[in-house]
Amino acid sequence: MLFFVFCDRILSKGMISMNSAFSFYMPVNILSGEDVLNQNKSIFSELGKKCLIVTGKTSAKKSGALDDIINLFNELNIEYETYDKITENPLTVDCYNGGKLARDTSADFVVGIGGGSPLDAAKAVCVYATNKHIIDDDIYTASVENSPLPLVLIGTTSGTGSEVSGVSVLTRKDGRKQSIGGKNYYAKYVIADAKYTYSMPFGVTVSTALDALCHAVESMFSPRADFLSKEFSLLSAKMIYPLLCKMRYTKESPNEEERNTLYFASLYAGFALNKGGTGFPHGMGYALTEDFGVPHGLACAVFLPQYLKETEKANPELYNELMGAMNTDFELLNDLFSDFCSFGFNISDEQISSYVDRWATLKNFKNSPTDFNNEDAGKLVKNLFQK
Ligand code: NAP
Ligand code: FE
């Protein structure tokens, strides 16, 4: 289906250009479609006889995914333990304890259920489980000597695209978020069923949709993006933007069809992210989550309008293509983002200068299309967060 979307887009542009070169590495088997879990029972039997389910406090239950997995395991005679200690912005120590539990219970594989937090945590649990020498924050530096446990992911939000990325974002002992990634952080299978997102509250739906849109846009202008990843970015942005506009005006959660659109758009943005990575909105957004508890999607989205101004300077043609795909212009988009991202706190000069120092080595600036740097970022924060 996607192939035809691309062919259609290329033909409608009237040419297949020499710029169509791409490379694509994403070693994840994504399963979707009607009753996808029950249609693919055999993968679980093949993975083993004992499973550790890694999840947060409520999402696995509210979404219905936990019941579905437990029923399946009972039918297949697969033993399981449930580790539900994963919080938002998961801590390395909780992931380490999950890994230890997987070892102690001789789990053959892990199933991660939830939004980006439990999914990212489940990736780390698989690494800790088979690498006894890695403890807590060592995960950022120690070598992974043994292959991680095989992992199945079931997403319950439509934002991070963690299902398809080789990235895990964890919170270190010092309270700072840091991502880790590479070939050891990919799931083996993804059960992609948007019905598990239907229970998301309105606020989480908005924040995660903004996150996915940031992934699509930031990865699109990354120096690492290529022909194919840009197509995924455009497709995703085109799917998400109108639904964000609708949510803004109705203040109501999307219907089931719209939730399906949001969920698959978040995976397409994940494909693009996997190639291009994120720009400065994501790098800067972590600080708002750490210090002010702003949900991840909103924390990144507040910086996206400035990012778009930079992209217009750097690559006006691609910028226009993106705006055309979303059928919008800067003023409309800025208005939408300002409405969703209006926070009631100020950030002091002292705090801003500590961010400026910290961001001096932030790689996300280099992965953005202009020379916007940590000093500029400090001015932007002052502009947005000082009344
Ligand atoms: P989340 O932190 O996983 O979940 C946010 C909240 O929504 C939690 O309270 C969660 O409950 C609840 N929730 C999730 N699904 C639900 C459902 N279907 N029904 C009812 N409640 C539900 O949110 P997220 O935005 O998906 O993930 C954010 C994390 O992902 C951040 O740590 C971010 O840095 C990371 N991230 C990772 C990547 C990547 O490539 N790996 C990319 C972007 C962001 P529970 O607490 O019970 O789970
Ligand atoms: Fe994100």
pLDDT tens track for 124-176: 999 999 999 999 999 999 999 999 999 999 999 999 999 999 999 999 999 99
Cα–Cα nearest to 118, from 157, 176, 73: 157
Max distance between CA atoms of the chain, in angstroms, equals: 60
Work out which ligand 1 atom sits closest to the CA atom of 55: 48
Residue 285, pLDDT score: 98
> CB atoms < 10 A from the CB of 191, how many?
25
pLDDT exceeds 70 at position 261: yes
| Ligand 1 binding pocket mutation candidate from 126, 157, 290 (most atoms within 8 A of CB) | 157
Residue 143, pLDDT score: 97
C-beta of 289 in contact with ligand 1 (< 6 A): no
> CB atoms < 10 A from the CB of 141, how many?
8
Which residues, by Cβ under 5 Å, contact ligand 2, an ion? 211
φ, ψ of residue 275 in degrees (nearest 5):
-95, -50
- 353-376 average pLDDT score: 96
pLDDT greater at residue 222 or residue 23: 222
Residue 25, SS3?
coil
C-beta of 261 in contact with ligand 1 (< 6 A): no
Residue 234, pLDDT score: 98
Contact 38, 72 (CB under 8 A): yes
For ligand 1, atom 46: residue with the closest CA: 56
CA 128, 132, 133, 137 torsion: positive or negative? positive
pLDDT exceeds 90 at position 370: yes
Contact 337, 306 (CB under 8 A): no
Which residues touch 249 (CB under 8 Å, ≥6 apart)? none
- 314-335 average pLDDT score: 98
pLDDT exceeds 80 at position 12: no
Residue 5, pLDDT score: 57
φ, ψ of residue 343 in degrees (nearest 5):
-110, 150
Residue 2, pLDDT score: 57
Q: Tell me the percentage of the chain whose pLDDT exceeds 90.
A: 94
pLDDT band at 21 (very low <50, low <70, confident <90, very high): confident
Spatial distance between the Cα atoms of 125 and 35, rounded to a whole number of angstroms: 28
Residue 387, pLDDT score: 79
Spatial distance between the Cα atoms of 98 and 129, rounded to a whole number of angstroms: 8
What's the angle, vertex CA 371, arms to CA 236 and CA 296, rounded to 5? 45
C-beta of 56 in contact with ligand 1 (< 6 A): yes
Spatial distance between the Cα atoms of 34 and 65, rounded to a whole number of angstroms: 15
Q: Which residue has the tokens 């299309």?
A: 369
Work out which ligand 1 atom sits closest to the CA atom of 168: 41
C-beta of 364 in contact with ligand 1 (< 6 A): no
In the reported structure, the alpha carbon of residue 167 is separated from the centroid of ligand 1 by a whole-number distance in angstroms of 14
Average pLDDT along the chain: 95
- Terminal-residue alpha carbon distance, the chain: 49
Cα–Cα nearest to 380, from 306, 323, 329, 272: 306
From residue 222, alpha-carbon distances to 141, 236, 310 in Å are 26, 16, 12
In the reported structure, the alpha carbon of residue 157 is separated from the centroid of ligand 1 by a whole-number distance in angstroms of 6
| Ligand 1 binding pocket mutation candidate from 164, 267, 296, 300 (most atoms within 8 A of CB) | 296
pLDDT exceeds 70 at position 15: no
Residue 225 CA, chain-centre distance (Å), reads 17
In the reported structure, the alpha carbon of residue 215 is separated from the centroid of ligand 1 by a whole-number distance in angstroms of 15
* Residues forming beta bridges with residue 79, ordered by sequence position: 50
Question: For 13-22, which contacts have Cβ atoms below 8 Å and span 24 or more sequence positions?
Answer: 19/227, 20/227, 21/226, 21/227, 22/226, 22/227, 22/228, 22/229
C-beta of 171 in contact with ligand 1 (< 6 A): no
* 368's tokens: 């953005």
Work out which ligand 1 atom sits closest to the CA atom of 90: 32
Spatial distance between the Cα atoms of 176 and 359, rounded to a whole number of angstroms: 13
